[in-house]
Amino acid sequence: MQHKDDTADSKQTDSRPLYWVTAAAGRRAVIALHVVAIAAVLIEFLFPFPEDTHAVERAHALDFTGSYSVYGFVSCVILVLLGRILRQLVMRGENYYRDSDR
């Protein structure tokens, strides 16, 4: 049992967006993300990892400049595409189990 004060409160508060979370700020954030991501690859290109770098960063499978960028990007695209296929296979109505569980 929850206290009366603890229950959900639908009281209207200020609906104005904070200055740093607007549609324009969102667009600027996406542009900034591109800039920073490309900069991260350029830094590796200009300052390659030292030869004595720990094995985890120099694994044979990913031993080329920007390899982790490619892997991160491709992984997420594959993840989402396979997720869409999985949804086709496993998605059911939200009451699918409800009747049998009661």
Distance CA 31, CA 25 (A): 10
Which residue's CB is nearer to another protein, number 24 or number 36?
A: 36
Which residue's CB is nearer to another protein, number 24 or number 92?
A: 92
What is the nearest approach in angstroms of another protein to the Cβ of residue 28?
A: 12
Task: Catalog residues that contact another protein under the rule CB under 8 A.
Answer: 1-3, 6, 8-18, 21, 30, 33-34, 36-37, 40-41, 43-44, 47, 49-50, 53-62, 66, 68-73, 75-84, 86-87, 89-98, 100-102
DSSP state of 51: T
What is the nearest approach in angstroms of another protein to the Cβ of residue 24?
A: 14
What is the nearest approach in angstroms of another protein to the Cβ of residue 32?
A: 11
- For 40-51, give the DSSP string: HHHHHHHSPPPT
Which of 43, 48, 85 lies closest to 63, judged by CA? 48
Q: Which amino acid is at 9?
A: D
